[in-house]
Amino acid sequence: MADARDDQIFGLVKTLCELPGPVGHEDAVQDWIANRWGGFCEEVRRTRVGNVLAKVGGNGPRLLLLGHADEICFMVKSISDDGFLHLWPYYGDLRGYPPRWIMPLNQPALVVTSHGTVEGFFATASGHVVGGRDKPDFRYEWNDWFVDVGAASREEAESLGIHPGVRVIWNPLTRRLGGARIVGKAMDDRAALAIATLAGEALASRGDLAYELWLGSTVQEENGLLGAQSVIDALDVDLCVNLDVGLLGDIPGPDARDFPSKLGSGPIAVYQDSSCHYSWRLTDHLVTIGRERGIPVQQAVFQNFGSDAAALLRRGVEVALLAYPTRYTHSPIETVDEGDIRACVNLLVACATTNY
Ligand SMILES: [Zn+2]
């Protein structure tokens, strides 16, 4: 039985995850964030590249709670004569074919044009019509995947605002699974923006902030932490707690010796990943606050992972990474746990009211 707070978390996560925010075209997410944060913040800034920075209030060292607005996506590279959209990934591809970690086939698709969105599906030819190609060494090529928007011709697709350069995301609805799990697209990193929003709202009315507290939502994290690189030019930050997905070993496949963290066991304080070493002092501080308040906190190091915090570290900011446990990262079924989300909010509220 969900209580009112659970519904608040689920509703906010669902709203944020279902907004379209492909890398480089995060406008719908940033518009929503600027509007919502404007309701309880003293000031909201939108930078030249599209980052949103909002002052919650308080005095003292500047503390920034940071998430990213963008989600992984595909780029339309051409449209066939009969109206199918051919794709490349959002990143610079060095393999020449799709990797194991990205699989959009048979998912609902949403094409994000300059003037609106167009629904479709990620498709490939089925075994009935190309069965003979299914050799033991079969692998998909980029051109085996395409998007069908129901158009009968290139002209019809173009009339919908589609052209080379527009983006496509997978587009499932966000759902509850079991008692406390939430499944959908873009938990990376909209669940972080939900956490920052709930923490900011809880802190806005309090008179005991230990910092001048800011919230931030960056663009273009997924393609190299690009939006975060100019945050410091818009706001001179002392400390940053970055929020992002946390890697888990509690499903069939990964080795629990490599990934000891579990879903539902609390936020993960990350000490190091492929992009940087986080401040051990600030990370320990988060863990200590959690222990003192009875909030479970896991501790980890991540391979094959990076975060916006590394971009701020390069510019002289002391940074920590607080991750919420997430299964099936970079897929249409990213899975989080309401209890972990609530624990992240509670830990950040405690952190923002505790001197460091
Ligand atoms: Zn992320």
pLDDT band at 147 (very low <50, low <70, confident <90, very high): very high
pLDDT at residue 1, rounded to an integer: 40
pLDDT at residue 4, rounded to an integer: 42
Q: What distance in angstroms lies between residue 308's CA and the mean position of ligand 1's atoms?
A: 8
Q: What distance in angstroms lies between residue 158's CA and the mean position of ligand 1's atoms?
A: 32
Q: What distance in angstroms lies between residue 199's CA and the mean position of ligand 1's atoms?
A: 19
Instruction: Return the minimum-mean-pLDDT range out of 56-60, 129-133, 235-239.
Output: 129-133
The reply to whether 295 falls in a domain is yes
Q: What distance in angstroms lies between residue 138's CA and the mean position of ligand 1's atoms?
A: 31
CATH assignment at residue 87: 2.40.30.40
pLDDT at residue 136, rounded to an integer: 78
**Pair 277, 338 in one domain:** yes
**Pair 89, 222 in one domain:** no
Q: What distance in angstroms lies between residue 107's CA and the mean position of ligand 1's atoms?
A: 21
H helix intervals, 172-243? 187-204, 231-234
Number of domains in the chain: 2
Instruction: Return the minimum-mean-pLDDT range out of 130-134, 205-209, 281-285, 340-344.
Output: 130-134
Q: What distance in angstroms lies between residue 128's CA and the mean position of ligand 1's atoms?
A: 38
**Closest-CA residue to 208 (of 44, 349, 9, 30):** 349
**pLDDT digit string, tens, across residues 300-328:** 999 999 999 999 999 999 999 999 999 99
**Pair 60, 209 in one domain:** yes
State the average pLDDT over residues 53-77. 98
Q: Which residue has the higher pLDDT, 127 or 247?
A: 247
**Pair 37, 111 in one domain:** no
State the average pLDDT over residues 21-27. 98
Q: What distance in angstroms lies between residue 180's CA and the mean position of ligand 1's atoms?
A: 21
**Pair 226, 211 in one domain:** yes
**Pair 288, 241 in one domain:** yes
**pLDDT digit string, tens, across residues 204-258:** 989 999 999 999 999 999 999 999 999 999 999 999 999 999 999 999 999 999 9
pLDDT at residue 132, rounded to an integer: 64
Q: Which whole-number Å values give the CA distances from 315 to 17, 228, 278, in the listed order?
A: 30, 10, 13
The reply to whether 200 falls in a domain is yes
Q: What distance in angstroms lies between residue 123's CA and the mean position of ligand 1's atoms?
A: 26
Q: What distance in angstroms lies between residue 194's CA and the mean position of ligand 1's atoms?
A: 13
**Pair 79, 67 in one domain:** no
pLDDT at residue 5, rounded to an integer: 53
| SS3 state of residue 232 | helix
pLDDT at residue 127, rounded to an integer: 80
**Closest-CA residue to 321 (of 278, 281, 263):** 278
Protein residues with C-beta less than 5 angstroms from the ion ligand 1: 188-189, 244
- Contact (Cβ atoms closer than 8 angstroms) between residue 345 and residue 191: no
**Pair 254, 162 in one domain:** no
Q: What distance in angstroms lies between residue 221's CA and the mean position of ligand 1's atoms?
A: 7
**Pair 286, 232 in one domain:** yes
The reply to whether 175 falls in a domain is no
pLDDT band at 171 (very low <50, low <70, confident <90, very high): very high
Q: What distance in angstroms lies between residue 245's CA and the mean position of ligand 1's atoms?
A: 6
CA-only gyration radius of the chain, Å? 21
pLDDT band at 183 (very low <50, low <70, confident <90, very high): very high
State the average pLDDT over residues 254-282. 97
Domain of residue 119 covers 74-170
**Pair 64, 118 in one domain:** no
CA gap 69, 37 in Å, rounded: 14
Q: What distance in angstroms lies between residue 54's CA and the mean position of ligand 1's atoms?
A: 20
Tokens of 336: 């989080």
Q: What distance in angstroms lies between residue 267's CA and the mean position of ligand 1's atoms?
A: 15
Query: pLDDT exceeding 70 applies to what percent of the chain?
Result: 97
First-to-last C-alpha distance (Å) of the chain: 38
Q: What distance in angstroms lies between residue 134's CA and the mean position of ligand 1's atoms?
A: 35
Q: What distance in angstroms lies between residue 246's CA and the mean position of ligand 1's atoms?
A: 9
The reply to whether 179 falls in a domain is no
Tell me which of 170, 196, 220 is where a domain ends. Answer: 170
Q: What distance in angstroms lies between residue 187's CA and the mean position of ligand 1's atoms?
A: 8
| SS3 state of residue 243 | strand
Q: What distance in angstroms lies between residue 342's CA and the mean position of ligand 1's atoms?
A: 19
Residue 56: φ, ψ to 5° = -75, -45
Q: What distance in angstroms lies between residue 50's CA and the mean position of ligand 1's atoms?
A: 17
The reply to whether 140 falls in a domain is yes
